[in-house]
Each structure stands twice: as C-alpha cells, then as structure tokens.
Structure 1
Amino acid sequence: MTAPRAWLIWTIGVASYLVAVTQRTSFGVVGLEATERFNASASAISFFTVLQLLVYAGLQIPVGVLVDRFGSRLMIASGAVLMGAGQLQLAFAENIPGGVLGRVLVGAGDAMTFISVIRLIPLWFAPARVPLITQLTGMSGQLGQLISVIPFALVLHSLGWSPAFLMLAGMSGMAAVLVVVLLKDMPPGTVRAESVQGLRATGASLKRAWSQPGTRLGMWSHFTIQFSGTVFAMTWGYPFLISGQGLEAGVVAMLMALFVGTGIVVGPFIGRFVSRHPLRRSTMVLLIAAATAAAWATVLLIPGRAPLWMLVGLVIVMAIGGPGSMIGFDFARTFNPAHRLGTATGIVNVGGFCAALICIFLVGLVLDLLYSTGYSNGVLYGLEPFRIALSAQFLLLGFGAFAILASRRKVRRQMAAQGVTVPPLLKTLAARRRARVESRRAGNGPGSKPR
C-alpha cells in the first residue's frame, strides 16, 4: 500500500460523499419554493424530509451488512445512481407524490454512501490515523452543504426549479462514473475476509454488533449531538432565519457557510482529541450536547428577534455537533472487529438521523397546529410559532444524554472486567500532574506513565 494511492482512494470517496451531502441538503434551501410549487402546508413540506431521512435511517443497517459483503465500490456507485434518479424525478415533479418519490430515491442513495466511505478508511490507513481521517472525511463531505446553499440556490433563483435539480442529477452521474473507474475496495494484495452467508449468520452478526455496549454508546452519541444541525441545515434553519428572524437571503447564506466552515475547522481538533484521549470521548459528547441546549435556549428565550452575533454563536455550536457526532463511529471501530465494522457503523448512523426525522416532523406538526388554532396570527413561519416548535429539540437532547450515561456505565463495566479502569477526570488530571512533577524532580523529563 502506497500513501499516494491511499489518499487518491480517500479523495474519490470524499468527493462521492460531498455529492451525497449536496443532494441530501438541497431541499432545505427550497422550503419556501416547494411550499408554493406543491401548494403544501408546513407539515407536508416536513414530510418530504422526514420520509427521506426515514428511508436513510431504515437502510443503514441493511447497507452496513451489504457493504461488509460486497465492498464499498459497488455500494457508492449504486447510491450515486439512485440519487441522480431521485433528483431527475424531482426536477419535473409538480405534485406532492411526485416530489416525495424523488426524495425517497435520494434518501436511498444517500444511505449507501457514508458508511461505504467510512469502511474504506481502516483498510487504507494505519489505525493511529483512522480517527483523524474519519473526521476529515465527515467535514470535507459537509462542503456539499455549501454547494446546496450557494451554487444550487443561485441556479434555483435565476433559472428555476427544473434546471437546478437537473444540475444535481448531473453531479450524481459524474460521481458514479468516477467511482466505477477509479475506486478500489482495498489495497492490492489484501485478502478479503470471508463474507457472511445466509440470513441466520447475518442476523447473528447484527445481534453481536448490537449487543456490544460500545456500539450502542456510539449510536446514542450520534443521536444526541448530530440531529440539531441536520434539522437546521436540511429543513427548518432557512425558514427560521428568513421568516422568523427576518434576515436577508445573503446573510443566511453566510451563516450556512459558517456552519460548514466551523465544522471543517473543528473536526481535526476533535479527531486529535479522540486519538490522544480515547477514555474521554463520551465526556466530549455530553459537553457538546449541553452547549447545544444552552445555545438554543438563549436564542429562543430572548425577547424579540435575536441579534446577529447570537445567531452566529448558535450556528457555531451546532456546527461543532457535526464532527462531535463522528465520535460515535470511533466507538463502533473500537469495540467491533473489522469484518463487522460496516454493520456496527450502520447501527451508529441510525441514531442521529432517527433523531433528526423525529424532530423535523414534530416541528412541522407544531407549526401547523399553531397556525390552525390562530396562535400564529396567519403567519405560518412566524417567530413566536418557531419558538414553541423548535423547543422540541430539548426533549431529544435530554433523552439522548440519559441514554449516553446509561450506555457508558455498561461500557465501563465491560472495560473494568477486561482490566481497563476509567477514573474520574479530576483524579486522572491530578495523577498526571503528580507524575510530571516527580519526573522533573528526578531530572528525567516529561513522564510517560501509561493510562
């Protein structure tokens, strides 16, 4: 295996994932246009994304099993074809059923992409580099949000609905060709592990992945800190900022760009933290969850519209949740063997997108209820209705934090049984300080006491 070849394979995988993220988030930009094109209510528009995410989440575990069996190349190429077909369908859809069919195809193709790209990393890179490369993968792919916010939105507003979605279909076609021609599943000379055969053996592998507490800890970590940014980017962020907060479209585009840019900048730092402090991963997740809850509470409780600097802070905190949620995949990698990694990664990836689809649906439902009862004063996407509807996030954040704590206790009991102890953070820091002091007094330089 040569380093240049590994980076080439990774670049192709990331490019495919970038295209998938563009397809995934494109509907978040067209919420207002879709309401007019399909003559739809808020809950109907949210249903587009809910069903897309439902398909995505529902396929994660089957896709994980399939990628373990057939490899990443076939799955990524198939996903690109499905997404292209979905955007082609949406380009000419003029009613809700036609639009829903397009988003279902996009969700199915998107479901095949990320897990398949993540599975390439341990095969092409050394284990010590996997956490950082995983973070770089997730954050580089998120550049697709910028494509949906800027070039796609520009084409949409200048040329119209159909040309904009045809552009997205063309991007998926190019990704499919690139993968088929250049992508390889594993380095030359690597022996492929025996694939699982039969439904019974597949079910047993799935059961073993789920029964591993580390897999469930990864899933709940992903559930808790990934969904808020997904809800914001895919559906309700654009209407909230435009109609609720009264911002201009250009300012909203800048905030969305900040969302992506922050994740790209923060991702490598989280990757290094995970590599150096593997026993503090869940603590990092809980801190990000607390920061997300505090940021949303501040914006939603302040009288009147929030100042721009406060919205900037909210966007930055939500953006940190993206790379933070990648810690869940590191839990899957740590606690599962390589031949079960796709299955375990699929289980983890279900978490955040299940939370996102629940939240998107709840927000749309509450907005419609407030509108129908007259609370909204005839404004569907008003600030006051959004205050109530977006508060649904706190329920999911609280539930996720509780599930993380419960799963972490089981993981720590398992680790203790294997001879690995996880002392409280303050005790650990104090021990390290004492070790450094004693080392300096002895004249031996920095201590290297194992953890």
Structure 2
Amino acid sequence: MSQLDNTKVKRLMTYRYVVWGVLSLAYIIVFFHRLAVGVVRDELVNTFNITGATFGNLGSTYFYAYMLMQIPSGMLADSLGARKTVTVGTLLAGIGSIVFGYAPTIMWAFLGRLVVGLGVSVVFISILKIQSQWFKESEFGTMSGITSFVGNLGGILAKAPLVIMVGYLTWRVSFAVIGVLSIVISILCYVLARNTPQEMGLPSIAEIEGREVKKSFKKKPNLIKGLIKVISNSKTWPGFVVFAGFFGAFVTLSGSWGEAYLIEVYNIPKVKAASYTMTAVIGLAVGSIVIGKFSDSIKKRKLPMFVFGTVYVISWTILVFLNGGKPPIEILMPLLFMLGFTCPVFVLGWACAKEVNPPEIAGISTSVVNIGGFLGAAILPPLLGKVFDKFAGTMSPVELYHKAFMYSFISALIGFIFIFLIKETNCRNVYKD
C-alpha cells in the first residue's frame, strides 16, 4: 500500500467518527422525544383535560409513526443515503416539536407528536447504515452499543433536567427550544455527514479489511426484492419479537408511567421521581455499550442475549411481585438501574438482523427488526392507560400499578422466550442465497 493510500486510510479512520458523531447528535433528539412526554404528563393532562388512555395514546403516536416508517427508513437509507435522510428527518422533528410545544388543542398536540415521530424515525436506521459503510464488521456490535449509549443521553435529558427546564421555561417553551436545536443539528448533518468513504475519495472498509467487494454491492440494491428477502427469512423474526417484548416493557416504565408510579406509590416529589427513572435510562445507556462490547469480544450473539435477558426478566419479577408490587425503596434505585442495564438485548438483535441477511440491504434488514421495538412501545402504554382509567378509585395505588405492570412483565417474558430462537452468527455475516 502506497504512502498516499496510508494517508487516506488514516483520514478514513479519523473522519468516520465525525460522520457518526453528527448523526449521533440527531439520535440524542430521538431519545429525548421518546421519553419526554411521561415527564410532562401532569402539565399535558391539566392543559388539555385528557384521560389516562388519551395521554397513553398521545405518547404512542410517536411510536406508531416511528414503527410505520421503519421499512421506508431502511429503503431511504439504502437508496437516498443516510446523509439526506437524517437531514430531512431531523428538520421535520424540529418542526414537529415546535408545533407540539405551542399546540392550542389536543389535536394539534397529536399532530406535533406525529410529525416528530415521522422525523426521528429515520435516524437510527441511517446510523446503522453508516456503521456498515464506515466501520468493520467486527466493530458493529460495539458501535451499535455506543450509539445506543449516546442516544440514551437524550433520554437522560428528558428526565430530571427536563423537569427543571420546564420549571423555568414552561413545558411549551421547552419543547420549542428543543425544536430549534433539532433544526440546527439537521443543518450540521447535511454539512458534515457522508454516506460512504468513497464519496470523499477514500477506500472502502471492505478494501481495508481485504474483503472482496461484490459487484451487487457496488450498485443500488433492488429495494422491493431486498424487502421480500428479509421478510421471508425466518431468521429475521426472533430479533423482532425480542425487541418488541423488552423495549415495550421498558418504555411503559421509563417513558410513560414510571414517574406517576413513584409519586403515587412511594409519595416522593416529582424531581426525585424523575431521577429514579433516569437511573433506568442510565442503566440502558451503560448496558448498551457493555453488551455490544462483550458480544464482539467473545464472538457470540446468543449467549450475551440470554444472560442479560435472564436478569431483565428477574428484575421485572421483583418490581411487579415483591411486596405486592411495592419493593422496599432502599432497593428501588439499584433495581431500576439493573432493569435498564439488562434491557438492551435488542442491540444484538440489530447486529443479528444484519448478519443473517444480505449485506447490501443492511438498512432494510435492521429496519424490519426495529419495527418490533416500536410496535411494543406503541401498544403497551395505552393498554396500561386503560387499566388506570378503569380501576382508578377502586384500587389502592399499589394494587393499581401491580395490575398495570403485569402487562409489562408478560411482554418481557415473551421477548425472553424468543431469544432461544435467535440464530447464532458468531459476529459475522452468515447469509447464504
């Protein structure tokens, strides 16, 4: 390899973190909106005079939009490219956040939430696509975990920091500020991001690794045929269900009803309640890095999923069943951290999706699995909301949340069962025509 080539390789190895970094800023916005509504629940209920079920549906509007956009997101990432896709998506999210913040009626709030969901839905799949172009196969699990960690910083901001921000600025101004920030990030994505190293005159990762670059990989894939391949591949679907079960359960606690549970069952102040659920989000962030790195280091996917998944179900068992659904407050913070820490089994589900399908359609394969998590996150919160609407006033808070969180426990258990059906890839692409 010539000196010029070595220079290009060094530039690639440096600039890939610029590309990944600016897209990760957009992903922080994704997580913020994912969890922020639960923190301003009281403000929304009082402003719009809505029921628990309506509040649950308002939160789920984001997830329905996100879910329905996953396959189109994969197609956009594989055809239009991650750079333009994230730029437009983050711009839409900014506009939607401003609409949500200044919504005069609940219908405008639903519209704003819908636009936010549509906008942010394209970001993560685009990052996975970027990773497949700028990072080695052996780095994919680790980078997916780091990406999830960075995104979770947005979830952390949507907890106690958001409560404080709302106290100073009101909830309306807070969401408008986040909207403006999103628009700025969308501009940065367009200016700094590139879809592939080749767009900058740099060698591809495949060339650096000494892998053969297939001709089919050099041209645009047939998106419809690619989607059919992914959907018809039975190895795609276990990861879908694992993500649905685990993440759906987590969102009911961290994004919708966790603060209310802590306030009503433990009688603790709102800022302190938000700090407790923030502990679960921090756990998710840390666990995402640990499970990704652990998987890549031992060259296994299924074993880490099983170990983490087992502890995750045990954590839910303690939360829902110990002392009738009210564990001692002394163990609550470490319990919530462990619940978050072991939840990101789905990080490896994304890697498996890429590794059991053709590499040229990495965007589509990961997007199909990604639908699962947001299907679970869309269905479960309104389901719990109906429980609260039906039984509020007839049960004590402990009994009420025990009954509601039973659905979260069942969701986690179903996800765990499907880990056994995951195809072990040993951290490499095992797809065969």
Shared fold (TM-score, shorter chain, > 0.5)? yes
The match for 2:218 is 193
1:121 Cα offset (Å): 0.9
1:268 Cα offset (Å): 2.9
Letter in 1 for 2:219: E
The match for 2:315 is 295
Deviating beyond 6 angstroms after TM superposition, the runs of 4 or more aligned structure 1 residues are: none
1:400 Cα offset (Å): 2.5
1:287 Cα offset (Å): 3.5
The match for 1:366 is 387
The match for 1:154 is 164
Contact 1:221 1:282 in 2 (8 A): no
2: CA distance between counterparts of 1:287 and 1:391? 22
1:27 Cα offset (Å): 1.0
Post-superposition Cα deviations, 1:145-198, rounded to whole Å, max 9, x if no partner, equal 1222233322212221221111111121111111111111111236883224xx
Cα RMSD after superposing both structures: 2.4
Larger radius of gyration: 1
1: CA distance between counterparts of 2:240 and 2:336? 23
Post-superposition Cα deviations, 1:58-92, rounded to whole Å, max 9, x if no partner, equal 11111111110111011111111111111111111
**Structure 1 stretches of 5 or more lacking a match?**
421-451
Q: Using a 3 Å threshold, how does the CA distance of structure 1 residues 182 and 322 change in structure 2: closer, same or farther?
A: farther
Q: Using a 3 Å threshold, how does the CA distance of structure 1 residues 96 and 321 change in structure 2: closer, same or farther?
A: farther
The match for 1:112 is 122
1:347 Cα offset (Å): 0.7
Contact 1:224 1:289 in 2 (8 A): no
Contact 1:57 1:354 in 2 (8 A): yes
Which one of the candidate residues 227, 235, 250 is aligned to 2:271? 250
Does residue 233 (structure 1) correspond to residue 254 (structure 2)? The answer is: yes
The match for 2:28 is 18
Which one of the candidate residues 230, 244, 250 is aligned to 1:209? 230
1:321 Cα offset (Å): 3.8
Which one of the candidate residues 297, 308, 311 is aligned to 2:329? 308
Secondary structure of 1:181's match? helix
Which one of the candidate residues 345, 353, 359 is aligned to 2:374? 353
Q: Using a 3 Å threshold, how does the CA distance of structure 1 residues 320 and 213 change in structure 2: closer, same or farther?
A: farther
Does residue 48 (structure 1) correspond to residue 58 (structure 2)? The answer is: yes
Which one of the candidate residues 67, 74, 80 is aligned to 2:84? 74
Matches within 5 A, 1:30-179: 30-179=40-189
**Structure 2 stretches of 5 or more lacking a match?**
1-8, 205-216
Contact 1:16 1:113 in 2 (8 A): yes
Contact 2:311 2:342 in 1 (8 A): no
Q: Using a 3 Å threshold, how does the CA distance of structure 1 residues 142 and 322 change in structure 2: closer, same or farther?
A: farther
The match for 1:445 is none
Letter in 1 for 2:42: L
1: CA distance between counterparts of 2:402 and 2:364? 38
Q: Using a 3 Å threshold, how does the CA distance of structure 1 residues 412 and 186 change in structure 2: closer, same or farther?
A: closer
1:4 Cα offset (Å): 1.5
Matches within 5 A, 1:251-290: 251-279=272-300, 281-290=301-310
2: CA distance between counterparts of 1:400 and 1:151? 31
Secondary structure of 1:323's match? coil
Give the TM-score, by structure 1 length.
0.83
Aligned length: 403
Post-superposition Cα deviations, 1:272-304, rounded to whole Å, max 9, x if no partner, equal 22113344x234323433323322232233147
1: CA distance between counterparts of 2:346 and 2:325? 32
Post-superposition Cα deviations, 1:116-157, rounded to whole Å, max 9, x if no partner, equal 112111211222222111110111111001222233322212
1: CA distance between counterparts of 2:330 and 2:339? 14
Secondary structure of 2:158's match? helix
Secondary structure of 2:268's match? coil
Q: Using a 3 Å threshold, how does the CA distance of structure 1 residues 394 and 262 change in structure 2: closer, same or farther?
A: closer
Give the TM-score, by structure 2 length.
0.87
Contact 1:19 1:175 in 2 (8 A): no
1:322 Cα offset (Å): 4.3
